[in-house]
Structure 1
Amino acid sequence: MNKRLGNVRWAAMRLLMNTVGRLSEGIRIGYRHGFDSGSMLDYVYVNKASGSWGVGRLIDRNYLNAIGWRAIRARRELLKDVLRKEIAERGDGVFVLDVASGPGRYLQDLVEEYAPGYLRVECRDLDQAGLTQGKERARSHGLQNISYVHGDALDPRPADRAPEVIVVSGLYELLLDDEAIAASIARLRSLLAPGGVLVFTTQTHHPQLEFIARVLPNRDGVLWEMKCRPVEKAEQWAREAGFDAVASRREQVGLFTVTTAGSASAADRSSQG
């Protein structure tokens, strides 16, 4: 009986989201592209409520204030801080590759912070709509050092030169297969330039997992199921892939971590010896 009532409850919630909820621009984007899509994340990053009539904007503001979206915005700020540090350590001419970027708004923000030619960024994704959105925004802002390429994050081909920094943000929490993540980390290590660093995110917990899995469709049109993992597990995969300088930081809302995985320099090893 309780299971039946639960099913009725979730069916009612899906109906409400897919009807009244569509007054919200954010929810419309979710149904159009998937609530896990790059287009959805780009809208969340902007964080400007929009919708049909006043009630649509009210629904949208409530939607954008959900804890998961607040954590994703905090994750973006932490990720930018981490990338600034890694770029500064490597100096002029750094090549950053994001293998699951979507529109890559946060990367465009970074590019704008540096002198032309100091930083080069390549954004890859399977979502063509997100790539197109990113290209158009980069063009409108006159950004020359960021490019958009269709590519599979789990089967990445080498770039025209080995990147000093590879980023995987918001992908691994969408994967249910632990072995696929471990294999991805190992594959990306093989693509890095000597002394390079892999930067990736992990979702360690989320209070709305059941709601998401019962109500919201993903980019494939099926209900969006996520898997949370302890950051210690993610760090273990990095070490098993051959990284020996692994560290993580948590964003301020507390749902995500950002991990850096690199190799200790010869000088570091000497000092440790």
Structure 2
Amino acid sequence: RYVLDAVAKCAVPPASVRLQDYSQLNVGLGTRLIAERNLPTSVTFRQADAFDTGMLAGLKPAPDLAIVSGLYELFADNALISRSLGGLAGAMEPGALLIYTNQPWHPQLEMIARSLTSHRGGQAWVMRRRTQGEMDQLVKAAGFEKIDQRIDQWGIFTVSVAQRV
């Protein structure tokens, strides 16, 4: 939603915006939000696997900005994260930007695990908390250089920007 809100405020819309989610339900809801905001046909929402390295590396047009928000903490396996980041790096030209989020700490981890089960077929959602250093190392290993970071006052959420080298 926040990406679509930002695009809707642009005086000159981006040449292309491609949003992706694994869930067809979420894709349908996102497509409806695009229509409600009367965004141009260059703004699309597609069903896709964020860990499909080949699909990501083949993105056309090559993204000059990629945003991965609220995804990697859902998965414990760093190999999955590396595949995703590697696919994005394969698609992006040097100088392109990656915005990524992290949750190094969360005070409601157990409540979330017991309450939110939709992406795991009814199983508990136990977030994979990574230190910021661990997340930044995964990003660097994929071919990006971190250039900035913001963190909330409680140290729960971070938003970082890295550049493809």
Query: When the two structures are superposed, what TM-score results if normalisation uses the length of structure 2?
Result: 0.86
Residue in 1 that maps onto 2:137: 236
Matched, 1:155 2:52: yes
Write out aligned runs for 1:38-53 (5 A).
Answer: none
What is the Cα-based RMSD across aligned positions, in Å?
1.9
Structure 1 residues 234 and 122, CA, compared in 2 at 3 Å: closer, same or farther? same
The answer for the alignment partner of 1:132 in structure 2 is: 28
Q: 2: CA distance between counterparts of 1:185 and 1:218?
A: 24
2:71 matched to 1:174? no
Q: CA offsets, 1:99-132, max 9 Å, x none?
A: xxxxxx1111111111244453111111111111
Partner residue of 1:223?
Answer: 124
Would the alpha carbon gap of residues 246 and 240 (structure 1) be closer, same or farther in structure 2, given more than 3 Å must change? farther
- Residue 5 of structure 2, aligned match among 86, 90, 109: 109
Shift of the 214–108 alpha-carbon distance from structure 1 to 2, 3 Å rule, reads: closer
Question: Partners of 2:161 and 2:131 in 1: how far apart?
Answer: 15
1:184 corresponds to 2:81:
no
Helix, strand or coil at the partner of 2:16: strand
Q: CA deviation at 1:143?
A: 0.8
Displacement of 1:244: 2.9
Task: Output the CA distance in 2 between the equivalents of 1:173 and 1:232.
Answer: 14
Whether contact under 8 Å (2:63, 2:92) holds in the other structure is yes
With over 3 angstroms needed to count, the CA separation of the structure-2 counterparts of 1:147 and 1:215, relative to structure 1, is closer
User: Aligned equivalents of 2:117 and 2:145: distance in 1?
Assistant: 38
Q: What SS does structure 2 have at the residue aligned with 1:244? A: strand
Query: Which 5+ residue runs of structure 2 have no aligned equivalent?
Result: none
Q: 1:150 to 1:227 in 2, by over 3 A?
A: same
What residue is the counterpart of 2:104 in the other structure? Answer: 204
SS at match of 1:212: helix
Q: Give the Cα separation in 2 of the matches to 1:216 and 1:149.
A: 23
Change (3 A) 1:108 1:216: closer
1:215 and 1:114 map into 2 onto residues whose CA distance is 37
Could you tell me how far apart the structure 1 residues matched to 2:13 and 2:113 are?
43
How far, CA to CA, are the matches of 2:60 and 2:14 in structure 1? 17
TM-score of the aligned structures, taking structure 1 as reference length: 0.54
1:43-85 Cα distance to aligned partner (Å, 9 max, x none): xxxxxxxxxxxxxxxxxxxxxxxxxxxxxxxxxxxxxxxxxxx
In structure 2, do the counterparts of structure 1 residues 161 and 245 end up closer, same or farther at CA, with 3 Å as the change threshold? same
- Structure number with larger C-alpha Rg: 1
Kindly indicate whether the alpha-carbon contact (under 8 Å) linking 1:111 and 1:119 is maintained by their aligned counterparts in 2: no
Equivalent in 111, 119, 122 of residue 18 of structure 2: 122
Q: 1:176 to 1:125 in 2, by over 3 A?
A: same
% identical aligned pairs: 34
Preserved CA contact (<8 Å) 1:235 1:246: no
User: Displacement, 1:263?
Assistant: 4.0
Q: Is the 8 A contact 2:92 2:164 kept in 1?
A: no
